[in-house]
Structure 1
Amino acid sequence: MEFEKLNKIRKIKRVWQERGTQGLIKFLYQKLVFKFRNQISYQRWVAIHRLTQQDITTAKRQISQWHLRPKFSIIMPVYNVEATWLKKAIESVINQIYPDWELCIADDASTQPHISLILNHYSKLDSRIKVLFRTENGNISAASNSALDLVTGDYIVLLDHDDELAIDALFENAKLINQYPDADFIYSDEDKIDTKGKRFDPFFKPNWSPEYFYSCMYTCHLGVYNTNLIRKIGGFRSEYDGAQDYDLVLRVVEQTKNIYHIPKILYHWRVISTSVTSGEQAKPWAYIAARKALEAMLERSSYPGWVEETSRAGFFRVRRNVIGNPLISIIIPSAGTTINTSSGSLCLLENCIRSIQQLSSYRNFEIIVVDGYDIPEETLEKIVSLGVELVRCTEPFNFSMRINRGAAKAKGQFLLLLNDDTQVITADWLQSMLELTQQQEIGAVGAKLFFPDGKIQHVGVMILAGNPGHVFHEVEGDHPGYFCSNIVNRNYLAVTAACLMMRQEVFQLLGGLDEAFPLNYNDVDLCLKAHQAGYRNVVTPYAQLIHYESASRQKGLKPGEWKQLNHKWQDYFEKLGTDPYYNPNLSLKAPNFELF
């Protein structure tokens, strides 16, 4: 706890140094208001979504009509837990709406006498409860494997000895399995619960998001796994104790694509002093084990690399070795516009090219500027002297057409679409994007863009009810996002073409940018084509640029653009239902991960 307090003091000091006294006061006030508002919002949400007796009756009627009745084996390793929490954990299983379960408990040689009394009591109370008493302490993986030996069910469910399942947890999983019998791995949303039974801090998760998963063990609770698959991969491994479930799932997802997410709170994670929920220093070895599990994953991967820490404990940056030294073709449509800034006039194109050439640590790139014979002669001379290739168009401005023209001239295996009103901040921006783009399963890779005042311009695009919107648009640049979404790699349905990298072969396969979108939504359309084709799109916050958004052309949509996008993608939007990287419990008003 002392370490945690010291970290908070350091953060406050850093904010004060960066923003001054008034900035610090504003930061602390906003943080307090945000925390209070979220607590109030969630209590309201819980009241609205609480199950009624009618809901339970309806669920039981559905169960009686199901063709599939999967049996769930809940694995619960136990060691010296307080009697109150152990009883609540067991009773949360007994109270399940869905009846086809067994609770497989392995006591890891507890020294507290109440443990055996409680376990023996419940095993006699309900024949579905199986108990094994280990003779020596082996820690959580060994105990979990002992519980696994008791399993006879189709699916394994992981429950910690001081947590609780929601009453409909198994029902919702059985319901999904009836719809998707091929399911191998199912995870749900979760929240925390205090010692007085108050629920708080919900985590409404995205659908399967590999890049986010390689940043943190976000699937966590409730995790449900095909029993045969768990046995095939060898169960739990003691060398990863503390992050044994992370190691388990890292191996599970290498074996199957049948991964499903239930966007409902089905698990309540107890906050007590011995739990990782109580703070970073409760179980520091858990984060060490998580890093070790990621490093083992990289050793097995087709894209090996290394793991780096981030500013948040439990969140990591997985780096991938760049394969070879491929040429990147940077395509910049431009009119050579000059704007006025607080420091004087600024030619956006010259500034953009200068930042690329001076700051980029990755050097194998070419720059292709596409214009409509409107770049001033003075600027033309400067950029040509810098070794830039010029492609000229006589047609009226059409962003998509100009990018396609530039791509046709590109020699690189990788294309980087870039607005001329951007300025590179991070030296390794090209490597950061390239190490993701080179992966065959990935389509578009976007960057983290800031307005000149430091606020966020782009960290990903959500499409809510047919409306594309930038997440956390115009919030403070250091805002961590929703469960650190702004500071780690994360999948999104779309990214902005203001800075977008894609393999040339994928760009051509998708037909390039649709020239029917001359100004807006051409990037959203490209990303949707990639997603529909089976690629996933990613934003990396480690590639950072300033974006003088729309400085070189007028802001806003033209008549019919939104309608055109929705007409083209109506069927796909209906198939998706909601943006897979958002959560249907969250508000559609704005893509800021709020409940109301």
Structure 2
Amino acid sequence: MHWANLIGKWQKLRRLQRDRGWAGLLDFLRTRLRRQLGQGFAYRRWRAQRRWTPAAIARARAEIATWPTPPLISVLVPVYNVESRWLERAIRSVQAQIYPHWQLCIADDASTQPGVRSQLERLQAADPRLQVTFRAENGGIAAASNSALALATGAYIALLDHDDELAIDALYAIAQHLRQHPETDLIYSDEDCIDARGRRQRPQFKPDWSPDFLHSQMYLCHLSVYRTALVRDLGGFRSEYDGAQDYDLALRVTEKTPRIQHLPQVLYHWRQLPTSSAAGLAAKPWAFARGREALAAMLARAGDRGRVEMTEFPGVFRVRRALRGQPLVSIVIPSAGKTVLEGANSICLLARCLASIQTLSTYRHFEILVVDGYDIPEAVLANLPVAVRLVRDRQPFNFSRRINLGVAQAQGEMLLLLNDDTEVRTPDWLEALLEFAQLPAVGAVGAKLLFPDGKLQHTGVVLVHDLHPMHAFYGFPGAYPGYGCSNVATRNYLAVTGACLMLRRALFIELGGLDEAFPLNYNDVDLCLKAHQAGYRNLVVPYAELSHWGSASRDNAEVAPVERERLQAKWASYWQQLGGVDPYYNPNFNLESPNFEL
């Protein structure tokens, strides 16, 4: 392992021990080890079930032979001082493709290592599909990629690093998709790592197109395939972002086209060597500085005066979008006036929630509307802050109706739906939610919620088998970063919890508010599905963090199955339009679990 990775991991463990104590650290390590061992075995089994047999290869090639106009795919490979055996394997992986209609475009960036040129000349002489150009002077990976791009004659380009490998069916899967969806401008696939001994591990199963996740990290990565004309129109690769030139390209392309498709197949094997990014993300810290600059340029193109911050997780960025003015946030809190015992103390949940908002929040332009059923204790009512407005409801408790009543009295441009059994943990929580909720294309924005013992309660809602909403990583250690850093990066989800949910008031009204047929459960999921169906994207911002006692204010266990059946019946048709899977949860995962596991 690269020394920078070791230092980074040690520093993270020290911070975790300081913040969570020895018990929290041990819980975190047990969880990580258990998942790594279990998922390693599961991935070996998964691969064994998907091996290409000679008969299957023959059938695929026979099918390809019937295609009247198979698309030509140009594979771009920038080369510089690569070890001979890895270059050989990279090229052989293209030559071994099931799909024969490809062109290999190689640009050597003035390698100084003996043998690179002669090896490329030998391989080119043996196969006319290899086009090689030798640059007179070293210009960096973007310049070399542009030289390879200049050789391309295919309508699409696929990007391959000089020491990686394509899966045998990579170009076949791409070509199949292009035949069915010729309008596609960008395709990306799942991937895994391959070590020096050829062992495959650490798969990355990705979500479907997730703009906000891309603005947190370069999750598209490998294999990425672009429409050639679009890349050329954008000027190709840019040298000022060397090390993150692929990230910069992905950001610029996705600004220009919505025609982006994800293939949930492992089509790329990323070579895991001591000095490669695949071995550990801290191996090339300079590349992350370029990634930060690429994101800053993305903000500038959008006219956003925000900023981009590094996080403690290499390759994960926090995009801080500039607030558009100081919109009034209406915080709507339905309350049943519940009091709980903590040790020898009697605690009013609402009073604690309000105190945390008033004392911790750095964003001060808000109003608070508490909607109650005449059951809040008089002592609490007498001590309500002046800024709190009370909305009364004489009907039996219905979360949806009480939210709708509160919204009808709200004056803010932005709404925050909030449970009374929550407590603010991060002072800039409102700003973190506002940064995204203000965007016209965004629907519901959720927060990271922790149980009082520090375990995860909410980092996003996954709809698993048969449209069953479940919280991702429920009960995991609070410091657990998730799958592909999903718990520590702003990420798109199909739904978020209504325990802390922000959206624009105009959008809430456009969507018809909360459906009062869901008095306690799934009204939030229903709202998020309405937003998604209308073309808005929902997301979780993990930098807005609250404690959540988790239904401490209500006892609703007996009604949840009824409401779940109601949700499934209401959304059955749309669920089928989505293919029966959550687009932000890879279909290769176990669809009975929300924990991103095989």
TM-score range (shorter-chain normalised) is: over 0.9
TM-score under structure 1 length normalisation = 0.97
Work out whether residues 520 and 557 of structure 1, in 8 Å CA contact, stay in contact via their aligned partners in 2. no
2:444 equivalent in structure 1: 444
Alpha-carbon offset, residue 111 of structure 1: 1.7
1:259-274 to 2 correspondences below 5 Å: 259-274=260-275
Which string of whole-angstrom CA distances, capped at 9 and with x for unpartnered residues, describes residues 530-582 of structure 1? Answer: 00000000100111111111111113251521221111100110111210100
Alpha-carbon offset, residue 198 of structure 1: 0.3
Alpha-carbon offset, residue 24 of structure 1: 4.3
Question: Structure 1 stretch 23-32 or stretch 220-229: which is displaced more?
Answer: 23-32
Q: Distance in 1 between matches of 2:165 and 2:375?
A: 66
2:582 equivalent in structure 1: 579
Say whether 1:54 aligns with 2:72: no
Work out whether residues 78 and 107 of structure 1, in 8 Å CA contact, stay in contact via their aligned partners in 2. yes
- Secondary structure of residue in 2 paired with 1:7: helix
1:135-150 to 2 correspondences below 5 Å: 135-150=136-151
- Secondary structure of residue in 2 paired with 1:49: coil
- Secondary structure of residue in 2 paired with 1:153: coil
Work out whether residues 76 and 160 of structure 2, in 8 Å CA contact, stay in contact via their aligned partners in 1. yes
Q: What letter corresponds to residue 587 of structure 1 in structure 2?
A: N
- Secondary structure of residue in 1 paired with 2:255: coil
Q: What letter corresponds to residue 564 of structure 1 in structure 2?
A: R
Q: Distance in 1 between matches of 2:238 and 2:216?
A: 20
- Secondary structure of residue in 2 paired with 1:332: strand
1:455 equivalent in structure 2: 455
Say whether 1:237 aligns with 2:238: yes
Paired residues in the alignment total 594
- Secondary structure of residue in 2 paired with 1:149: helix
Alpha-carbon offset, residue 55 of structure 1: 2.2
Q: Distance in 2 between matches of 1:53 and 1:304?
A: 56
Q: Distance in 1 between matches of 2:113 and 2:19?
A: 51
- Secondary structure of residue in 2 paired with 1:188: strand
RMSD: 1.4
Alpha-carbon offset, residue 284 of structure 1: 1.7
1:392 equivalent in structure 2: 392
Q: Distance in 2 between matches of 1:154 and 1:25?
A: 52
Question: Structure 1 stretch 113-122 or stretch 288-297: which is displaced more?
Answer: 113-122
Q: Distance in 2 between matches of 1:313 and 1:593?
A: 21
Q: What letter corresponds to residue 594 of structure 2 in structure 1?
A: P
- Secondary structure of residue in 1 paired with 2:325: coil
Pair 1:58–1:8, CA change in 2 (3 A): same
Alpha-carbon offset, residue 141 of structure 1: 0.6
- Secondary structure of residue in 2 paired with 1:538: strand
Question: Structure 1 stretch 457-466 or stretch 339-348: which is displaced more?
Answer: 339-348
Q: Distance in 2 between matches of 1:410 and 1:15?
A: 41
Q: What letter corresponds to residue 411 of structure 1 in structure 2?
A: Q
Alpha-carbon offset, residue 369 of structure 1: 0.7
1:397-476 to 2 correspondences below 5 Å: 397-465=397-465, 466-476=467-477
Q: Distance in 1 between matches of 2:20 and 2:469?
A: 32
- Secondary structure of residue in 1 paired with 2:256: coil
Question: Structure 1 stretch 251-260 or stretch 373-382: which is displaced more?
Answer: 373-382
- Secondary structure of residue in 2 paired with 1:3: helix
Q: Distance in 1 between matches of 2:418 and 2:30?
A: 37
1:562 equivalent in structure 2: 564
2:484 equivalent in structure 1: 483
Which string of whole-angstrom CA distances, capped at 9 and with x for unpartnered residues, describes residues 441-468 of structure 1? Answer: 0000000011111111110001012100
Work out whether residues 240 and 289 of structure 1, in 8 Å CA contact, stay in contact via their aligned partners in 2. yes
Alpha-carbon offset, residue 337 of structure 1: 1.0
1:290-329 to 2 correspondences below 5 Å: 290-329=291-330
Q: Distance in 1 between matches of 2:224 and 2:98?
A: 18
1:94-133 to 2 correspondences below 5 Å: 94-133=95-134
1:193 equivalent in structure 2: 194
Structure 2: stretches of 5+ with no match in the other structure: none
Q: What letter corresponds to residue 206 of structure 1 in structure 2?
A: P
Q: Distance in 2 between matches of 1:24 and 1:377?
A: 43
Alpha-carbon offset, residue 272 of structure 1: 1.2
Q: What letter corresponds to residue 581 of structure 1 in structure 2?
A: Y
Q: What letter corresponds to residue 293 of structure 1 in structure 2?
A: A
Pair 1:216–1:379, CA change in 2 (3 A): same
Say whether 1:520 aligns with 2:521: yes
Which string of whole-angstrom CA distances, capped at 9 and with x for unpartnered residues, describes residues 148-189 of structure 1? Answer: 111110001100000000011011011111121110000000
Q: Distance in 2 between matches of 1:437 and 1:17?
A: 33
Work out whether residues 282 and 314 of structure 2, in 8 Å CA contact, stay in contact via their aligned partners in 1. no
Q: What letter corresponds to residue 527 of structure 1 in structure 2?
A: C
- Secondary structure of residue in 2 paired with 1:354: helix
Question: Structure 1 stretch 302-311 or stretch 74-83: which is displaced more?
Answer: 302-311
Say whether 1:530 aligns with 2:531: yes
Q: What letter corresponds to residue 587 of structure 2 in structure 1?
A: P
Which string of whole-angstrom CA distances, capped at 9 and with x for unpartnered residues, describes residues 337-373 of structure 1? Answer: 1111136111011111111111110000000111112
Q: Distance in 2 between matches of 1:355 and 1:551?
A: 17
Structure 1: stretches of 5+ with no match in the other structure: none
Q: What letter corresponds to residue 454 of structure 2 in structure 1?
A: G
Question: Structure 1 stretch 396-405 or stretch 276-285: which is displaced more?
Answer: 276-285
Q: Distance in 2 between matches of 1:588 and 1:517?
A: 25
Say whether 1:594 aligns with 2:597: yes
Q: Distance in 1 between matches of 2:447 and 2:231?
A: 37
Work out whether residues 303 and 439 of structure 1, in 8 Å CA contact, stay in contact via their aligned partners in 2. no
Say whether 1:375 aligns with 2:376: yes
- Secondary structure of residue in 2 paired with 1:253: helix
Work out whether residues 67 and 178 of structure 1, in 8 Å CA contact, stay in contact via their aligned partners in 2. no
- Secondary structure of residue in 1 paired with 2:49: helix
1:358 equivalent in structure 2: 359
Q: What letter corresponds to residue 591 of structure 1 in structure 2?
A: P
Q: Distance in 2 between matches of 1:355 and 1:526?
A: 27
Q: Distance in 2 between matches of 1:421 and 1:29?
A: 30
Work out whether residues 494 and 538 of structure 2, in 8 Å CA contact, stay in contact via their aligned partners in 1. yes
1:4-83 to 2 correspondences below 5 Å: 4-21=5-22, 24-83=25-84
Identity level (%)? 57
Q: Distance in 2 between matches of 1:552 and 1:238?
A: 56
Alpha-carbon offset, residue 13 of structure 1: 3.2
Q: Distance in 2 between matches of 1:451 and 1:307?
A: 29
Q: Distance in 2 between matches of 1:12 and 1:282?
A: 18
- Secondary structure of residue in 1 paired with 2:293: helix
- Secondary structure of residue in 1 paired with 2:76: strand
Alpha-carbon offset, residue 331 of structure 1: 0.4
Q: What letter corresponds to residue 584 of structure 1 in structure 2?
A: P
Which string of whole-angstrom CA distances, capped at 9 and with x for unpartnered residues, describes residues 410-453 of structure 1? Answer: 10000100011111111000000001000000000000011111
Q: Distance in 1 between matches of 2:595 and 2:521?
A: 22
Alpha-carbon offset, residue 227 of structure 1: 0.4
Question: Structure 1 stretch 37-46 or stretch 462-471: which is displaced more?
Answer: 37-46
Pair 1:297–1:32, CA change in 2 (3 A): same
Q: Distance in 2 between matches of 1:314 and 1:103?
A: 29
Q: Distance in 1 between matches of 2:60 and 2:542?
A: 43
Pair 1:359–1:239, CA change in 2 (3 A): same
Which string of whole-angstrom CA distances, capped at 9 and with x for unpartnered residues, describes residues 183-211 of structure 1? Answer: 00000000000011000000000001111
